Amino acid sequence: MSLIKAQNITKDYQTEEVVVHALRDVDFEIEPASFVSFVGPSGSGKTTILNLIGCLDKPSSGQLRVADTDVGSLGRKESAAFRGKYLGFIFQDFNLIPVLTVYENIEYPLIMVQNIAPQERKDRISRMLDEVEMANQAHKYPHQISGGQKQRVAVARALVTNPALVLADEPTANLDSQTAYAVIGLMKKMRDDFGTTFIFSTHDTKIVGEAEVIFRLEDGRLTAKETKGGAKS
Amino acid sequence: MMNLFKIALRNLIRYKRRTLLTASLITIGVVFVLVFVSVTGSFKAMMIGQITDSMLGHMQVHRKGFVASIETLPLNLNLKGGAIARLEKLLDAQPEIAAYSPRVKFGGMFSNFTETSSIRLTAIDPEREFRVIPLLPNRLTQGSHDLQPGVILIPELLARGMKVKPGDAVVIVATNADGSVNGKQLVVAGVLESATGPGGKDGYVHMDDARELLRMEDAQVSEYAIRLKDFGNLAAFSKKLDALLAEELNQQGKPVFELHTWEKLSPFFNIARMIDIMTFFIKVMLIAIVLISIMNVMIMAVYERIREIGTIAAIGTLPGKIRSMFIVEGFCMGVVGAIIGDLIGIAVVVIINLLGLHFDFGQQKGMLLKASLMPSDVLIISVIVIIVAVVASLQPAVKASKMEPIEALRHV
């Protein structure tokens, strides 16, 4: 069964003067434990799709089911609860909480979102710190570590809640190419270790090659789906 | 919950200068209010103490209608025989009463044999009276307060104006209830400073002299001055005693007695009320300071952390928790400001007392300012500050919790 199923999704934005069609009749399905990338030029609709999947926005029409839930019908509180339960987020600018240490940033969703018991919390954070190789930086604050390290922490924060799906919008945009590959590699390893589905958007053609499933977008339309090995549809 | 506090405190420390400025503002406000409350409260307590302990007593019982005619000191409204016995029996049965003293009040003429002036006299049983108004002897500026039959304590105004000093003989002339005039020679025992202001012409004579002068065959009493064991119990006890007195009816079925607390008998009560009103407005100013400063800081905090709010909302933090984060921040700032303000305020009060400042009140010169703070004052002011801090955080907190994560994340 698909983890995500989108049927005839459209998303329009009303500006002061015109209606912008961000997505037009988009259909796709994503299987569990996939490593997926949405690619396309700026304004093609990558971020819009990730926002819809992430329950941060609602489609103008069509149906989007994530983890067997019609996310378009969720209210504000339900959306937040759904995100906390099923989703993890990795942001382009890392978006770590500056007043919390590396350890506390990873701990944050376990306390503030999922209310996990202290011992289990400790175990999960230790494991995540080891996985992202940040155990020796655990007590540093975000401003004391590098961009690549910040994104590793962000990956750990996204995965510590055991989400079914991690969404990463341009996760490598603010990283040098070597660090970008390292972060994508880490994400892939996490997918292998935890069976979590990763969906990331990028316009970096080299990074795109790391994805196993690639959806190409142009002007809000899904123009192609490629799977590893060259298969196109 | 602890984590909310941890995050809140770290966010406050994050903007050190702003937090320090806001907390300082709250602290200064709290210190100012505490010092004001302690000084004015002490002034008020001393003023009330002077009035009740050297003149009025805590409360007085009269025959019904006496107070309405008090300017003429009507002897025909004195309590007599049966009424006195009933009232004393009732007062004796009240455990809240420390002491009570019967008085006869009357007007007369005061003569030093060359000049004559009017005088208001209170006839007392000194032993009982001093138990009710223990500060009366303190008002003595010359002579002795030993009020035996045949002597008089005269007001400073008359002593100065008529050049009379302790040991001098004077004559008191008074009209009794029947309208006949009688006079009696007395010796000035002492001179009292006025407790009622510069126009005060109140003197004291022994009850026996008053009976002789006014030709009272039976015991008569114009008023009973009452002292309570606990002055703080005044309102509750006056209500109780008022109800008991209301049951004492005359043959026409009307109340025999009337009860007045010092508040109804002294114009200084208005000063006490003015102090309360000033204190209230000072507290309102404190509330305004806390409200505006905290609200300003929290609005800034929300504005500066829009992306952060977007992040925590995106990863699933419920709106209620986001709201709590900001409210706890305001709460922490209120608590910090209140605690530091309390500590400094208490220290200032201690310093004021160590300095031993003096002030004048009416005829009382060089009274020592004993600033004191009740724990309840500190607690009430602290609670007000903390509640106002939380209220001031509400609007920014609600704004933060209502932010759409997608828009917050886009914020630059």
Query: What's the DSSP call for residue A136?
Result: G
> What's the confidence (pLDDT) of residue B58?
94
Length of chain A: 233
Q: What is the ipTM of this complex?
A: 0.87
> What's the confidence (pLDDT) of residue B150?
92
Domain boundaries, chain A: 34-60+69-232
> What's the confidence (pLDDT) of residue A130?
86
> What's the confidence (pLDDT) of residue B199?
58
> What's the confidence (pLDDT) of residue B195?
67
> What's the confidence (pLDDT) of residue B119?
92
Residue-wise over B149-183: b if at least 16 C-beta within 10 A, else e? Answer: eebbbbbbbbbeebebebeeebebebbeeeeeeee
- Give the span between the Cα atoms of B271 and B40, in whole angstroms: 11
Query: A with B: how many residue pairs have Cβ under 8 Å apart?
Result: 70
> Is B71's pLDDT higher than 70?
yes
> What's the confidence (pLDDT) of residue B188?
94
Question: Mean pLDDT throughout B129-143?
Answer: 88
Among B10, B310, B318, the residue with its CB nearest the CB of A99 is: B10
Q: What's the gap between Cα B202 and its chain centre?
A: 24
> Is B363's pLDDT higher than 60?
no
Q: How far is CA A225 from CA A2, A38, A208, A211, A233, in A?
A: 16, 9, 12, 11, 5
Tell which wins on pLDDT, A228 or A108: A108
> Read out DSSP for A41-93?
STTSSHHHHHHHHTTSS--SEEEEEETTEEGGG--HHHHHHHHHHHEEEE-TT
Superfamily name and number for A34-60+69-232 = P-loop containing nucleotide triphosphate hydrolases (3.40.50.300)
User: Out of A96-100, B299-303, B313-317, B363-367, which region has the weakest mean confidence (pLDDT)?
Assistant: B363-367
Is residue A201 within 8 Å of A38, Cβ to Cβ?
A: yes
Angle of the A118-131 helix axis to the A147-159 helix axis, nearest 10: 140
> Is B365's pLDDT higher than 70?
no
CB atoms under 10 Å from CB of A224, counted, come to 13
Tell which wins on pLDDT, B365 or A109: A109
Find, in chain B, the residue whose alpha carbon is nearest to that of A89.
B315
Q: What's phi and psi for A90, nearest 5 deg?
A: -125, 130
> What's the confidence (pLDDT) of residue B197?
59
**What mean pLDDT value characterizes chain B?**
87
Q: What is the pLDDT of residues B93-109, one digit of tens each?
A: 999 999 999 999 999 99
> What's the confidence (pLDDT) of residue A233?
47
> What's the confidence (pLDDT) of residue B131?
92
| Chain B residue numbers touching A89 (CB-CB < 8 A) | 311, 314-315
| Chain A residue numbers touching B404 (CB-CB < 8 A) | 56
Q: What is the pLDDT of residues B213-238, one digit of tens each?
A: 988 888 889 999 999 999 889 999 99
- Give the span between the Cα atoms of B265 and B66, in whole angstroms: 12
> Is A232's pLDDT higher than 50?
no
User: Out of A72-86, A151-165, A219-233, B142-156, which region has the weakest mean confidence (pLDDT)?
Assistant: A219-233
Question: Mean pLDDT throughout B125-150?
Answer: 89
Length of chain B: 412
CB contact under 8 A, B317 and A113: yes
pLDDT bin (cut points 50, 70, 90) of residue A178 is confident
> What's the confidence (pLDDT) of residue B94?
92
Interface test with A, best of B3, B11, B13, B315 (most A CBs within 10 A): B315
Among B3, B7, B405, the residue with its CB nearest the CB of A56 is: B405
Domain boundaries, chain B: 2-51+272-410, 65-255
